[in-house]
Amino acid sequence: GNSVTQMEGPVTLSEEAFLTINCTYTATGYPSLFWYVQYPGEGLQLLLKATKADDKGSNKGFEATYRKETTSFHLEKGSVQVSDSAVYFCALIPYNQGGKLIFGQGTELSVKP
């Protein structure tokens, strides 16, 4: 079946530290991959996406590369800020199942000044 596995949180970093949140997936065919961010008390915001192998999604200093050989889509940021504190969800939409957004469990990030 289709599934997404994320590293467990919470992840606590100091401001300006390098961030990596690991995400691996299981899916048949070529899924599309997404990172969503949820700030406290809010809904989900689409952070970035990639739709085919070797695509790199980027937004607001965050990047993730679609790696088919390792079935991974790790989220990275070179220098985190306190305002990046949130829960990050890795997700996929299986090929040919447009409505089925499948989420990982979420990783809580806390950035300290």
Footprint on this chain of other proteins (rule: CB under 8 A): 32, 34, 36, 42-46, 49, 51, 87, 89, 91, 93, 95-96, 98-101, 103-106, 108
Which residue lies nearer to other proteins by CB, 51 or 83?
A: 51
Q: Can you spell out the DSSP letters for the chain?
A: --EEEE--S-EEEETT--EEE-EEEE-SS--EEEEEEE-TTS-EEEEEEE-STT-EEEETTEEEE-BTTTTB--EEESS--GGG-EEEEEEEE-TT-TT--EE---EEEEEE-
Cβ-based nearer residue to other proteins, 18 or 95: 95
Nearer to other proteins, 100 or 112 (CB): 100
Which of residues 98 and 113 has its CB atom nearest to other proteins in the complex?
98
